[in-house]
Structure 1
Amino acid sequence: MLDADTPVWLAWGPELTLLYNDAYRPLLGDKPPALGRPLREVWGEVWDTVGPLIDQTLSGRGVVVDNAGLRVDRGHGLEDAWFSFSYTPLRDREKVAGLICLVTETTEQALTRRSEQFLSRLEEDLRTLADPAEIIQVSQRSLGQHLEANRVGYGSVDVTERFFTTENNWTDGLIESFNGTHDLAGFGPEIHGALKRGEPLVVDDVYNDPRIADDASKAAFAYLQTSSALTASLVKNGRMIAAFYIHCRDVRKWTQAETKLIQDVAERTWSALERAHAQNALERANRELEQRVETKTRDHDRLWKISQELMLVADHEGRITSVNPSATRILGYDPEHLTGRLLTDFIHPDDLASTEQEIRRLSEGLSTLAFENRYRHEDGTYRVLNWTAVPFENHIHAVGRDVTAEREAGQALRQTEEALRQAQKMEAVGQLTGGIAHDFNNIIAGITGSLELMSKRLAQGRVAEIERHIIGATGAANRAANLTQRLLAFSRRQTLEPKPTRLSALIAGMLELIQRSVGPEIEVKTVEEDDLWTTFLDIGQLENALLNLCINARDAMPDGGTITIRSANTRFDASEARQHGLGAGDYVSLCVEDTGVGMPPEVVQRAFEPFYTTKSMGQGTGLGLSMVYGFAGQSGGAVNIRSKVGEGTVICLYLPRHQGQSLADDAENAASEAILPKGKETVLVVDDEPLVRMVVVEALEDLGYSILEAGDGASALKVLESDAVIDLLVTDIGLPGGMNGRQLAAAARQVWPVLKVLFITGYAENAVLNHDNLEPGMQVLPKPFQMHTLAQRVQDLLAR
């Protein structure tokens, strides 16, 4: 019981002596010490309710209660609270000697539900009221009775935000109203300042609140006969304009639900008052308009003429019966041109449906506030009008304000923000380009330097020294290939070679490389689940991703630490999968966890962004986590980060489960080193890069194949249409001259339907391949590749 995370108590012995865990302690509040006391003494105020349930439990029958409302005293007087709990009998041999209770307080949820129901009823009551004084009275009375307060009031604040005027306060009869004007500064600077900022004022105990320390502020509350108060101020356009308050004679512990409730009531009361003022103003304007028709008074006629807003009257079909002269200023039409026409004749086609719906609402007696649509100007452009309208004596009386300039300004601001974001992206692209150029220049320098030295050593006859330069050039070329592959994976445009793979074997094979990469001061541990599922992915790319994650983890631990590589089977239901951007199903997780410095939330949010790197200046030009993100997406999976500054980081890859066995790595490696037999078939090699075409031709000729070659699609097509018998087409995808490699293969199969095709490409031309699966007898080999790999692919295709 003591170790439980949930509140638990047990009562034992004849007097039901109370014991409880730490999680239960907050439920006691400020009650006197309860440990070791009889249960009935501790909770005597609710014994009439829980006593029978306890008796039932002691008779041997357990009890489960959901959301029970109790009137409890937790050191601040009686208060309403709600609990869900269960009683279970405890036995000493066969006899019930006590009981154990698992309990959860649900007061906030219950109060929230009550508040929502109260607000719903209040909103219904206010919706039908048009008298501001009545609106205030209904809000005050409803809230006071709901919260069992002594006094509730609503009032306005003058322009200095100091003097508060309230009238017709509601009281329960036990406290005076204290209507009139009050100086808010008298309650102390902290309280006055909080009210002006719009912060809710919560005072549980006036005489023990540190904000009410001086005699003057205490006297102000004492004058109001108030020991506790809850106030919500209304701040609009940066100024406090009104406040809604609750006063109690006695000390009271206000809950979060009650604090939120008074804020909601204050906002709804203010909104209802604004609606009433607007509706009353419109009704007054309508009466004045009707009076103009009847009496043609000069004063009303002047108001109609000088108004800067568009004022019109229309019938319930939307036909305009009269319109003021502002129509010319706003829309360019003379009022006579609009009179007798339908409103819909001038409305933008996209706004017709919503406008017709609003006219129907008005014809049903409902008012309109802040409705916007677009009206055609005489010059053919459109103006955005914001309408307030009310139905009156079978007509619609409406006032429209031209807000076109405001909306255009908002649109211009959004465009400016988008331009700024684009500029920031372009700046990042520029930074990335410079880094890539630096890396490639280093690689090219290594390759060209090695070739130059090889040439010099050959001329000197120092053949024995050539091998190390060959190794150096090959290593540099491989580094260039790895950089290209990472860039392509990041941009989601690389052709992957997925295979059924079991992560346990892959991780075991990588451990030595990882340990060597991170250094001896970092401990590398692995934790893997038994019978790990197979997944379908590109092994090389996963190795790159894993190594990249481990190196990032090393950089996050400058003083050493531990990297833990975890792999496990994971099953996501629909809800869990949506959180990761995946479909429901089975996945294999690969997580790299470090004990490093961690990342702040703003870095975590951007870690997967294009071109974003978490590395500091001078630590390389790597693509950070974006390469891992691109690989995961290409593999049908996802990646996420959990990190906290000072506590380390966990990055997890989730890869789809493959229903099948993993490939035997040893057999595959053995096959890659096998000596290939000589070939005798004819192969057509097509590539516009002469150097690439030369090495491919020579490599295949060394294996005994007969080779034909071409530099573009048109030349290759002539060879295919000749009398030559061709067994295999090896072609680059990106060819010049208007015919790419895929189109060439399609044309070739018109001549040779069973022709085998091997596409070689330095870039994954997704647009050419149309993301479709390749036809039988076709394969893709990404550049750069080893000649032995090329030979294996050729032999495999020809043997099928």
Structure 2
Amino acid sequence: MTGTTNPICPAAAEIRNTDWSDTPLGSMDSWPPALSTMVSFMLDANVPVWLAWGPELTFLFNDAYRPLLGDKPHALGKPLKSVWGEIWDVVGPLIEQTLAGESVYIENALLRVERGHGVEDAWFSFSYTPLRQDGAIAGLICSVWETTGQVLARQAQDFLSQLEEELRVLSDSAEIIQLSQRRLGEHLKANRVGYGSVDVTERFFITDNNWTDGQVDNFNGTHDLAAFGPEIHGALKRGEPLTVDDVNADPRIEEGGQAAFAYLQTRAALTASLVKNGRMIAAFYVHCRDSRKWTSADTHLVQDVAERTWSALERAQAQHALERANRELAQRVEITTRDHDRLWRISQELMLVADHSGRITSVNPSARRILGLEPDAMAGRLLTDFIHPDDIDSTGQEIEKLAQGHTTLAFENRYRHADGSYRTLNWTAVPFEAHIHAVGRDVTAEREANKALRDTEDALRQAQKMEAVGQLTGGIAHDFNNIIAGIVGSLELMSIRLGQGRFNEIERYLTGASGAAKRAASLTQRLLAFSRRQTLEPKPTRLTNLIGGMLELVQRSVGPEIDVRTVATDQVWTTFIDAGQLENALLNLCINARDAMPTGGTITIETANVGMGREEAARKGLTSGEYVSLCVSDTGVGMAPEVLERAFEPFYTTKPIGQGTGLGLSMVYGFAGQSGGAVRIQSDLGKGTTVCLYLPRYAGPDIPEDTAPQETELPLAKGKETVLVVDDEPLVRMIAVEALEEQGYTVLEADDGATALRVLEMDRTIDILVTDVGLPGGINGRQVAEAALVKRPDLKVLFITGYAENAVLNHGHLARGMQVLTKPFQMEALIERVSDLIALK
């Protein structure tokens, strides 16, 4: 069991260090294989999983599940019922159902759980699956996701949508406030909810007619916010949401503040202040007479209700102001008729008046210029007689809103011109008594210009995509044609020489064909790196150690006329990467830097720790967090802006034909992205270039200072074991089988996952499984291995893959006794990996 647990997994360490002899499970050494396998599976899972085993359903769980326990007392190794006793009336029957042999799946179940802070409502989706030992059900395993956040968010959204609809029909400020208070109080099951304004000093809060559930008093009137203490008052003035779970336990609240809350019969409070133009103008508060654990969902909800209430009040005030202005306008109509008529006649915009049914009563003369219609011809007709058929429904809805007293701003529809074409009009309209007054601006030319611009931009983007695809495919074809020509030519000459009996020249052609094949493999790896599909084997790596081990190789590669320098920040963080691929990337960057300095110069390799905020990270295409930077700078010729823009494009190179593939920087770009990082270039003509890789910091345990493997050259031992080779490519399978048989191994073979499983079901010894990851028939190599390990826990596994199937390979996290080998590979590498795995105890 010890060998199957993840050494850096806290849950694995806790299980390993627990004395199980006093539990129904007994000592770990005596655990049945099925239990050990499922515990290993559980610990490898990156989602919350627990399992219960034995007569008392002894409880075990992984690290992802631990947060769901909260602050519960120690649960590992306890009977399941004692851990979750408070919800046993709900889950107990489901567990009995599972132990009877039936799997269970429940979605968004409401459970009242106790996680160290009192009973709380929480929602979970989970599945129960029975576990068997020797054909009998010995326990169950559960995958579980807490969905409380999603459920509360959905409930909050439904609540806010309903509140928005109810507020929309109100125009009285007191009714708006009363509705918001009551609905929020009932939703949160609070004792008191209130909304109020703040005076210009931002100190005195005035609330009137707040809502209560009848268990506390109203306490309407003016309240001194300073009485609650400087921290509380300061947070409110800054617009920060204030949550107090327990007045008596909150360190921000001094004795005077506690007295103020006690006077208000309040033990827990949540307040959202509204700060507009730098000043606190109002606040929405929720009070409970008992302590309460507020959630972030509660905070966001109260903030949203406060903003919506304020907006509804602003709308009501604006509507009242508009109505008042309309009334005043009506009183002055007789005085201003002459000016109105003048404006009506000379306005360049279309002005019309219609009743609430949409029938036009009058139109200004601009109708001739904009629509080619006489105003008298439009009067008395419905607006819909002139509107584009596709815009009739939306226009009808807007007329209904105006009839209900709402103002229209920036509404657009299309009107038919006398010549049969359509004009797009942008409308502003207000309701006045029984009529609608509207002003329409002709924006047809503006919209057509915008559409033409968008079409041009789309065409340009499409052309750029096609150019990139053409360049990529052309570059691949060029390089592979050269390689294929070398291979085909060598094979043809070998055939001719064999026919002539000239065997002494065969080795030269074999060397040429082999070299061309290796160049093809290298090109494929560069393409996979660019497309982020190469298979990576990441591990914790210190860049200072890696760079130090490469300095001699870098110096030899760039030549004596180039001075190579290193600059390292003290205690550079560890990063989690494929060290071999990073070495290739670093060597590529140094060779590019050398080529940019034909007369010599200086290459500087610099590492540093970098913490990035959200904005800086976004500029680099990353998420905020901690990164390790690796920068390679040169003092060379630099790049022109047009070259810099295309630097990462595949097969783009400024070097002479035959001196560069154009895949170096694109490979570095793809490797950095696949590793969770990014790469950026800064360059100035005549001043040099700096290329920086940003790689995520590794958050796991420290690694030893000297992690370089000790290379030894030992002869490979002849094998006597049995190997199962699974690959759907006959030629690859044939070569692998013959190479292993020459080493003395007994080799079985299969061409797909289903056949491999049938072979593994046979009653014969199989020591190692060598399988391709991508297999036909719906069963991949990882699934074959997992199924085999259930009955053959000591089976060693070597995965073979042609490109990045990391998701299938558990994102590079392989258990002990498993390795991965990337195609194409030499037979010596295959034999060495098999030998190493068999030797592993």
TM-score (norm 2): 0.49
> What is the Cα-based RMSD across aligned positions, in Å?
5.0
Structural mapping, 1:83-102, within 5 Å? none
Structural mapping, 1:398-417, within 5 Å? 398-401=438-441, 403=443, 407=447, 410-417=450-457
Structure 2 counterpart of 1:534, which letter? T
Distance 1:768 1:323 in 2: 71
Conserved? CA contact 1:312–1:320, under 8 Å: no
Structural mapping, 1:617-628, within 5 Å? 619-628=659-668
* 1:667 lines up with 2:706 in the alignment: no
Conserved? CA contact 1:534–1:662, under 8 Å: no
Match of 1:639 in 2: 679
Give CA-to-partner distance per residue, 1:597-618, whole Å, 9 cap, x none.
1123343344335665454666
Match of 1:373 among 408, 412, 420: 412
Match of 1:592 among 632, 648, 657: 632
Q: CA deviation at 1:629?
A: 1.4
Match of 2:723 among 659, 683, 699: 683
Structure 1 counterpart of 2:382, which letter? L
Q: Secondary structure at the match of 2:537?
A: coil
Match of 2:525 among 485, 506, 522: 485
Match of 1:709 in 2: 749
Q: CA deviation at 1:492?
A: 1.0
Structure 1 counterpart of 2:709, which letter? A
Distance 1:675 1:359 in 2: 92
Conserved? CA contact 2:770–2:798, under 8 Å: yes
Match of 1:385 among 411, 414, 425: 425
Match of 1:543 among 571, 575, 583: 583
* 1:653 lines up with 2:697 in the alignment: no
Q: Secondary structure at the match of 1:511?
A: helix
User: Cα–Cα, structure 1 residues 463 and 300, in superposed 2: closer, same or farther, change >3 Å?
Assistant: closer
Distance 2:441 2:547 in 1: 68
Conserved? CA contact 1:574–1:584, under 8 Å: yes
Conserved? CA contact 1:347–1:376, under 8 Å: no
Distance 1:596 1:355 in 2: 68
Conserved? CA contact 2:359–2:381, under 8 Å: no
Distance 1:663 1:483 in 2: 34
Q: CA deviation at 1:649?
A: 0.9
Structure 2 counterpart of 1:373, which letter? E
Conserved? CA contact 1:570–1:587, under 8 Å: yes
Structure 2 counterpart of 1:560, which letter? G
User: Cα–Cα, structure 1 residues 348 and 735, in superposed 2: closer, same or farther, change >3 Å?
Assistant: farther
Conserved? CA contact 2:753–2:784, under 8 Å: yes
Match of 2:468 in 1: 428
Structure 1 counterpart of 2:411, which letter? E
Give CA-to-partner distance per residue, 1:270-309, whole Å, 9 cap, x none.
xxxxxxxxx9xxx99x979x989x9xx9x999x89xx998
Distance 2:572 2:542 in 1: 7
Conserved? CA contact 2:371–2:415, under 8 Å: no
User: Cα–Cα, structure 1 residues 328 and 382, in superposed 2: closer, same or farther, change >3 Å?
Assistant: closer
Q: CA deviation at 1:484?
A: 1.1
User: Cα–Cα, structure 1 residues 403 and 775, in superposed 2: closer, same or farther, change >3 Å?
Assistant: farther
Match of 1:313 among 353, 356, 367: 353
* 1:476 lines up with 2:516 in the alignment: yes
Structure 2 counterpart of 1:594, which letter? D
Conserved? CA contact 2:575–2:697, under 8 Å: yes
Q: Secondary structure at the match of 1:667?
A: coil
Conserved? CA contact 2:360–2:380, under 8 Å: no
Match of 2:314 in 1: none
Q: Secondary structure at the match of 1:588?
A: strand
Structure 2 counterpart of 1:761, which letter? T
Unaligned runs of 5+ in 2: 1-324
Q: CA deviation at 1:426?
A: 1.6
Match of 2:86 in 1: none
Q: CA deviation at 1:563?
A: 1.9
Conserved? CA contact 2:405–2:431, under 8 Å: no
Q: Secondary structure at the match of 1:636?
A: coil
Structure 2 counterpart of 1:372, which letter? F
Match of 2:830 among 771, 790, 793: 790
Structure 2 counterpart of 1:518, which letter? V
Distance 1:347 1:409 in 2: 21
Match of 2:480 in 1: 440
Match of 2:437 in 1: 397
User: Cα–Cα, structure 1 residues 609 and 353, in superposed 2: closer, same or farther, change >3 Å?
Assistant: farther
* 1:556 lines up with 2:596 in the alignment: yes
User: Cα–Cα, structure 1 residues 349 and 635, in superposed 2: closer, same or farther, change >3 Å?
Assistant: farther
User: Cα–Cα, structure 1 residues 502 and 335, in superposed 2: closer, same or farther, change >3 Å?
Assistant: same
Conserved? CA contact 2:359–2:380, under 8 Å: no
Q: CA deviation at 1:423?
A: 2.1
Distance 2:505 2:811 in 1: 47
Q: CA deviation at 1:430?
A: 1.7
Distance 1:554 1:644 in 2: 16
Q: CA deviation at 1:661?
A: 2.1
Conserved? CA contact 1:685–1:707, under 8 Å: yes
Structure 1 counterpart of 2:607, which letter? S
Q: CA deviation at 1:781?
A: 2.2
User: Cα–Cα, structure 1 residues 427 and 601, in superposed 2: closer, same or farther, change >3 Å?
Assistant: closer
Match of 2:52 in 1: none
Conserved? CA contact 1:453–1:469, under 8 Å: yes
Conserved? CA contact 2:371–2:423, under 8 Å: no
Conserved? CA contact 1:323–1:339, under 8 Å: no
Q: Secondary structure at the match of 2:440?
A: strand
Match of 2:125 in 1: none
Match of 2:798 among 755, 758, 773: 758
Match of 2:382 in 1: 338
Distance 1:414 1:757 in 2: 55
Match of 1:781 among 807, 821, 825: 821
Q: CA deviation at 1:594?
A: 1.0
User: Cα–Cα, structure 1 residues 455 and 321, in superposed 2: closer, same or farther, change >3 Å?
Assistant: closer
Conserved? CA contact 1:502–1:662, under 8 Å: no
Q: CA deviation at 1:483?
A: 1.4
User: Cα–Cα, structure 1 residues 553 and 726, in superposed 2: closer, same or farther, change >3 Å?
Assistant: same
Q: CA deviation at 1:573?
A: 5.3
Match of 2:236 in 1: none
User: Cα–Cα, structure 1 residues 594 and 512, in superposed 2: closer, same or farther, change >3 Å?
Assistant: same
Q: CA deviation at 1:477?
A: 2.9
Q: CA deviation at 1:487?
A: 0.8
Q: CA deviation at 1:424?
A: 2.5
Distance 1:496 1:376 in 2: 61
User: Cα–Cα, structure 1 residues 459 and 605, in superposed 2: closer, same or farther, change >3 Å?
Assistant: closer
Q: How many residues align?
A: 497
Q: Secondary structure at the match of 2:536?
A: coil
Conserved? CA contact 2:577–2:675, under 8 Å: yes
Match of 2:773 in 1: 733
User: Cα–Cα, structure 1 residues 765 and 635, in superposed 2: closer, same or farther, change >3 Å?
Assistant: closer
Conserved? CA contact 1:429–1:611, under 8 Å: no
Q: CA deviation at 1:677?
A: 3.5
Match of 1:85 in 2: none
Give CA-to-partner distance per residue, 1:746-796, whole Å, 9 cap, x none.
665677677554331222246766868567765432211233332343345
Q: Secondary structure at the match of 1:625?
A: helix
Structure 1 counterpart of 2:730, which letter? P
User: Cα–Cα, structure 1 residues 340 and 593, in superposed 2: closer, same or farther, change >3 Å?
Assistant: closer
* 1:495 lines up with 2:539 in the alignment: no
Find the structure with the greater CA-based Rg.
1
Give CA-to-partner distance per residue, 1:9-51, whole Å, 9 cap, x none.
xxxxxxxxxxxxxxxxxxxxxxxxxxxxxxxxxxxxxxxxxxx
Structure 1 counterpart of 2:678, which letter? A
The share of aligned pairs that are identical, in percent, is 65
Conserved? CA contact 1:562–1:594, under 8 Å: yes
Q: CA deviation at 1:734?
A: 3.4
Q: Secondary structure at the match of 1:669?
A: coil
Structural mapping, 1:49-60, within 5 Å? none
